[in-house]
Structure 1
Amino acid sequence: MRFIPRLKPGIPPKETPMTADPVATNSTGAERRPYREVTDARGRVYRIGETDRDILGHSRNLMVYLPWVAMMAISVFEYAYGSAEDTLSHAHGWTQSNTFWILSIWVFFQAGIAFPAGWLREKGILTARRAMYTGAAMCLVGFLALSHLHNVWLAILGFGVIGGLGAGLVYATCINMVGKWFPERRGARTGFVNGGFAYGSLPFIFIFNYAFDTANYHRVLDLIGVYVMVVVLVSAFFFKDPPKNWWPAEIDPLTHAGDSRTGTALAKNPPAVKQFTPKEAIRTGMLPLMWISIVMTAGVSIFGISFQVDFAKDVGFGPLVAASSMGVMAVINGVGRGVVGWLSDRLGRKPTLVCVIVVLGLAQFGVIWAGDVKSEWLFLFFAFLSGFGGGAFYPLFAALTPDYFGENYNATNYGLVYSGKLVSGLFGGGLGSMVVGAWGYNGAYALAGGISMLAAAIALLLRQPGRAGTGAKVGAVQAQTAA
């Protein structure tokens, strides 16, 4: 196979000779084929020649299904917690504010570990497998703390800090794994894996609403902790990153020839013009905009997750509607992530993102309306919309980050973007409870809707660095790097 580069007039094709990796075997011990590097007109390097089977010994599709399974396992932390709060409060003698702050601290550390974990991975200090093993053990500690520690500060340390760090290690590793292995068509696959982080919690939502009480909470929480640890450990055993700059052997990185579906996805979401380091990505101005947008959008999403069941009960809806609304939110939240990932491959990442954030904002006002008219069906419908918008933006940001800044530093770049969730976790959960206390549920939901609309306006400003509208900034970044 030989690619014929289509470069600008006067710019000759640049290729390195065929060479072999220093470790020329795959995970099964078989010999790996040589590779070569092709440089496009903008200077981006693509490593071609090796298939996924050459590197892994099996199809790269396994790097979709295993992260998906692990993400379903850890989803119980965030999406089922709200259904367990009443029982936890009675069992441990905690106030409602205590339980909200435990979740807020969990969100803070779950999001906060993404950047340092990415940095350690890209420095070669922490492998993907080791990150997953560490995360699995910390997840178990989190549930044991929630089960056996009555002191709220110790529970915050065990579940909020240690459990949050563990879940964050698993989450960040799984999302980055998919982005690295599918650089040519990452939207649908990233959305599929990310969706597991929501609907994987569905069985536990109903367990916590119907089979979880002060008589059995120790046993239930301990078993859940063991379940999470075992699933993550088994999934992690097969985790492996591709080499730097790797590109699928069957797709020409210069002309995108080889697969009509890939050609459409790359036309709507062209590859990054270069591999941006975190400092370079920040200097373009786009990464800070993405961070601000995810702070606001994730805050609205976390607010809905934290308060939907309580709002349903406050309005007078029965426990079935309250549990069903959270179940609907979790399922649609997860399925919606896969759907919008698929759509973004065909319609473009940015327009899909803006639409999703607008839907999330409108859903907040719809929940107020449903509560005012006491309509259970309307409430479930807007819970559906809120669940869709409240989860679908995560895989879009996860795919947009390597689209804009490349795959080589994606663990740290996306870690920076995703770190916005640690801020939103504070005002979405803990500060959200203060707003509910001061303004009531209607005032809090109205504020959430307004914040979401502002986030959509900010997302409209996003542009891929190096292409229309941002070329000057990238040129400045490249000049500083060369200097």
Structure 2
Amino acid sequence: MESGIKYKSPYGEYTIVVDDVGRKYRVGEDVKAITKRILGYPIGRRLLLLGAWMSFFFGSVLEYGWGAASTTVISHYGWSLAEGFFNYTVYVLFQATICATIFQRLREKGLISPRRALLFGGALLMVAYYLFSNSFEPWIAYLGYAAIGGIGAGLGYAVGGGIVNKWFPEKRGWRLGLVNGAWAYGAVPYILLYIYAFNSSDFQEILYITGLTIGIGLMIAGLLVADPPKHWWPKDVDPIAARQGKLKSRELKVNPPAVAQWTPREMLATPMGKAQMISFTLALAASLFNVSFYAPFGAAMGFGGGIAFAVGAAGFALTDGLGRPMQGFISSLIGRRKAVTIFYTFMGLGGLGVLYAGLAHLAIPWAILAVATGAVSGACFVFDWLLIADYFGENNIGKNWSIPYALKVVGGAFGGIIAALILTFVSGGTWADVVTGASINITPLAWEVVFWIGAIFSLIAAGLVWFVEKPPTVEDYIKTRIKLNEPIPEEVASKIPREKLQALMQKYGR
């Protein structure tokens, strides 16, 4: 349904189109006209995609490079395992909180632009690595790497995802997987550097180089990003025709579009929304454990410095990133829910394979399984975006996405400090060892305990996705609106018989 009214903006003329589920489309304004007005120079959607990709690529090193760098840093400064991995947990806290909550709200209100966010984030990354390379006390690392670096990386993550969703509303699938994958494989060059040229004599210089290169890279990305007006849609694509075409496509048969545009409050009032919060958190905890502990585990099993270790550690990050577009493609063939269930299950079982190959000191099987598990380890990040868009609509995707992503803090706690404490205590350590930084020999039983916890988390997440996270129906939406004492939009109410609507109102009304 088109308004028929022409509106004027600083970027040109546009009209407002509304489809049958209430999604709005702002059609008419040219990409280059918008970017020239905002940035001062015109760029097209390809360069905007490049900017989004770069923001993920350079922001990823703190998260995915930590596992390879941690052994040398912890050993050099004499930290306990718990002190070292508490740094990772604090990093996740700041990265997820800043990008998922604070920045998204400031961005939607127009108080900070993507360009300024990345310029600021790049500067923060340089400061973070300078402080990290001089972390003579753990609190310096917590302030530098974790807090300051976490904010910088979080800004990169938040900007990149938003750019793809806003500028490619008609075809975001593989593009989102492409740029999101850079969050993992962007760290591969640095992981290899940390494996082969990172020891107590030169690690500070390498950390300086890391901070300088990723900081400058993120700043350059800031020159290639800008947000379009809310509800923007490319002027050469008919939004209604595009939607009808999608409805007839194979992908939409297995991934039907949302029946309505859900608000965060409505989403959280459904069993599907609640289950998604839990499954995402559990899968995320397992994924972040893999990211932070696969390399230290391989080193502890005697693989450190070898070819198999390099393949396993760097290959995990590489396939974690490259696997994300593949995951999106597979889900378009067999359906999101079925695909996520398979990926989460494989992550859990693959993690156990990594564990027992390592305990048996089989370097090549360990590396192969680490690389294979990496291909599905990032699934939770891709499908957090895709499932929310498919289930709850696009109008509020930024706010809806930020809610489960903020729970990355909980997953990061297991992937960092909690796993480190379990390893310490099961190996016979005490709180005194944690506080004093005493060296602890991690036992095979301790490794088994944490790996099994991660596997169980993955399998529970898979079960929730399959048995609970089914696409909400029109009836689910109406029931939710009634329970929340909200009016039923006419375009939604018209989709079911009036008698059924009245029955639902009588059953669920207050």
TM-score by length of 1: 0.88
- Which deviates more from structure 2 when the two are superposed, residues 98-107 or residues 283-292? 283-292
- Which deviates more from structure 2 when the two are superposed, residues 217-226 or residues 344-353? 344-353
1:60 aligned residue: 45
Aligned partners of 1:247, 1:462: CA distance in 2, in Å?
29
8 Å CA contact 2:196, 2:305 repeated in 1: no
Is 1:339 paired with 2:318?
no
Aligned partners of 1:155, 1:120: CA distance in 2, in Å?
27
Deviation at 1:480, TM superposition (A): 5.5
1:91 aligned residue: 76
Q: Kindly report which structure 2 residues correspond to 1:183-222, keeping only aligned pairs within 5 A, or say none.
A: 183-222=169-208
2:18 aligned residue: 39
Is 1:238 paired with 2:238?
no
Q: Which amino acid aligns with 1:59?
A: G
1:411 aligned residue: 398
Residue-by-residue CA offset, 1:236-289 (whole Å, 9 max, x unaligned): 122111222223334433343697799444444344344433323323443332
Is 1:316 paired with 2:316?
no
Deviation at 1:137, TM superposition (A): 1.9
1:425 aligned residue: 412
1:389 aligned residue: 376
User: Unaligned regions of 5+ residues in structure 1, if any?
Assistant: 1-13, 26-31
Is 1:451 paired with 2:457?
yes
Q: Which amino acid aligns with 2:470?
A: R
1:472 aligned residue: 479
Deviation at 1:470, TM superposition (A): 4.8
Q: Which amino acid aligns with 2:358?
A: G
Aligned partners of 1:337, 1:268: CA distance in 2, in Å?
19
Aligned partners of 2:243, 2:294: CA distance in 1, in Å?
47
Change (3 A) 1:49 1:91: same
8 Å CA contact 1:136, 1:233 repeated in 2: yes
Deviation at 1:478, TM superposition (A): 7.7
Q: Secondary structure of the equivalent of 2:70? A: helix
Aligned partners of 2:222, 2:261: CA distance in 1, in Å?
27
Change (3 A) 1:229 1:310: closer
Change (3 A) 1:302 1:46: same
Aligned partners of 2:111, 2:271: CA distance in 1, in Å?
29
Aligned partners of 1:161, 1:185: CA distance in 2, in Å?
35
1:115 aligned residue: 101
8 Å CA contact 2:23, 2:394 repeated in 1: no
Aligned partners of 1:262, 1:225: CA distance in 2, in Å?
48
2:364 aligned residue: 377
Is 1:462 paired with 2:469?
yes
Deviation at 1:471, TM superposition (A): 4.6
8 Å CA contact 1:37, 1:46 repeated in 2: yes
Residue-by-residue CA offset, 1:265-321 (whole Å, 9 max, x unaligned): 444434434443332332344333222111111111111122212222333334222
Deviation at 1:373, TM superposition (A): 3.7
Aligned partners of 2:476, 2:25: CA distance in 1, in Å?
25
Change (3 A) 1:468 1:354: farther
Aligned partners of 2:420, 2:398: CA distance in 1, in Å?
33
Q: Which amino acid aligns with 1:142?
A: A
Aligned partners of 2:273, 2:119: CA distance in 1, in Å?
30
Q: Secondary structure of the equivalent of 2:469? A: coil
Match of 1:151 among 137, 162, 167: 137
8 Å CA contact 1:257, 1:263 repeated in 2: no
Number of residue pairs the alignment of both structures matches: 462
Aligned partners of 2:400, 2:488: CA distance in 1, in Å?
17
Q: Which amino acid aligns with 1:44?
A: R
Is 1:100 paired with 2:85?
yes
Residue-by-residue CA offset, 1:425-457 (whole Å, 9 max, x unaligned): 001221112222314112221221111000111
Q: Which amino acid aligns with 2:232?
A: W
Q: Secondary structure of the equivalent of 1:148? A: coil
Change (3 A) 1:298 1:272: same
Aligned partners of 1:397, 1:302: CA distance in 2, in Å?
15
2:501 aligned residue: none
1:10 aligned residue: none
Aligned partners of 2:2, 2:249: CA distance in 1, in Å?
23
Residue-by-residue CA offset, 1:29-62 (whole Å, 9 max, x unaligned): xxx3x32222223333222234544534443232
Deviation at 1:364, TM superposition (A): 1.4
Aligned partners of 1:47, 1:63: CA distance in 2, in Å?
19
Q: Which amino acid aligns with 1:417?
A: P
Aligned partners of 2:470, 2:350: CA distance in 1, in Å?
27
2:269 aligned residue: 283
- Which deviates more from structure 2 when the two are superposed, residues 215-224 or residues 272-281? 272-281
Aligned partners of 1:366, 1:173: CA distance in 2, in Å?
36
- Which deviates more from structure 2 when the two are superposed, residues 452-461 or residues 40-49? 40-49
2:278 aligned residue: 292
Aligned partners of 2:277, 2:420: CA distance in 1, in Å?
24
Aligned partners of 1:228, 1:262: CA distance in 2, in Å?
43
Aligned partners of 1:104, 1:173: CA distance in 2, in Å?
22
Q: Secondary structure of the equivalent of 2:229? A: coil
Deviation at 1:379, TM superposition (A): 1.0
Aligned partners of 2:248, 2:158: CA distance in 1, in Å?
25
8 Å CA contact 1:300, 1:449 repeated in 2: yes
Residue-by-residue CA offset, 1:140-176 (whole Å, 9 max, x unaligned): 2211110123111122112111111111111011112
1:354 aligned residue: 341
Residue-by-residue CA offset, 1:206-246 (whole Å, 9 max, x unaligned): 11111112222222111211111111111112211122222
Q: Secondary structure of the equivalent of 1:37? A: strand
TM-score by length of 2: 0.84
1:3 aligned residue: none
Q: Secondary structure of the equivalent of 1:325? A: helix
Q: Secondary structure of the equivalent of 1:38? A: strand
Tell me the percent identity.
Answer: 32
